[in-house]
Amino acid sequence: DGGITQSPKYLFRKEGQNVTLSCEQNLNHDAMYWYRQDPGQGLRLIYYSQIVNDFQKGDIAEGYSVSREKKESFPLTVTSAQKNPTAFYLCASSTRDRFQPQHFGDGTRLSIL
């Protein structure tokens, strides 16, 4: 089945530690996205990539980093510079057609130890 896989489902971070969230898609989509969702809130865009080896900052990129070395993969690193990382992180992918929807993974919940 085609889809997006996020792992792990739950992740815990210690103070001063970087953690990496995985996102893999087999939909052959060019574009991939990372969103952050806080309780009772909508989604805010962290980073996006429209093509391999290229990515752009979204609205809340500070304290995060990404890479796009393969079309299928778009990992997100939450660095120690992100002072409030506790949130639900969602990855999505789409074609570059504005009239096509984004497809979402089932998210990773990150908490601080």
Partner 1 sequence: SQQGEEDPQALSIQEGENATMNCSYKTSINNLQWYRQNSGRGLVHLILIRSNEREKHSGRLRVTLDTSKKSSSLLITASRAADTASYFCATVTFTGANNLFFGTGTRLTVIP
Q: Closer CB to partner 1, residue 10 or residue 15?
A: 10
Q: Is 11 in the site for partner 1 (CB under 8 A)?
A: no
Q: Is 71 in the site for partner 1 (CB under 8 A)?
A: no
CA 49 to centroid of chain Cα atoms:
10
User: What does the alpha-carbon distance between residue 110 and residue 113 come to, in Å, rounded to a whole number?
Assistant: 10
One residue of 25, 92, 93, 110 binding partner 1 per CB under 8 A: 92
Looking at residue 27, the DSSP 8-state letter turns out to be: S
The CB-of-85 to partner 1 minimum distance in angstroms stands at 18
Please report, for residues 28, 52, 97, 98, the alpha-carbon distance to residue 38 in angstroms, rounded to integers and kept in the order given. Answer: 29, 29, 28, 26
What does the per-residue mask of binding to partner 1 show for 29-68, with x meaning CB under 8 A? --x-x-x----xxxxxx--x-x-----x-xx---------
| CA proximity to 26, closest of 69, 72, 95, 93 | 72
User: What does the alpha-carbon distance between residue 35 and residue 60 come to, in Å, rounded to a whole number?
Assistant: 9
Q: Is 69 in the site for partner 1 (CB under 8 A)?
A: no
Kindly list the residues in this chain that would bind partner 1 in the complex (CB under 8 A). 4, 6, 31, 33, 35, 40-45, 48, 50, 56, 58-59, 88, 90, 92, 94, 96-99, 101-107, 109
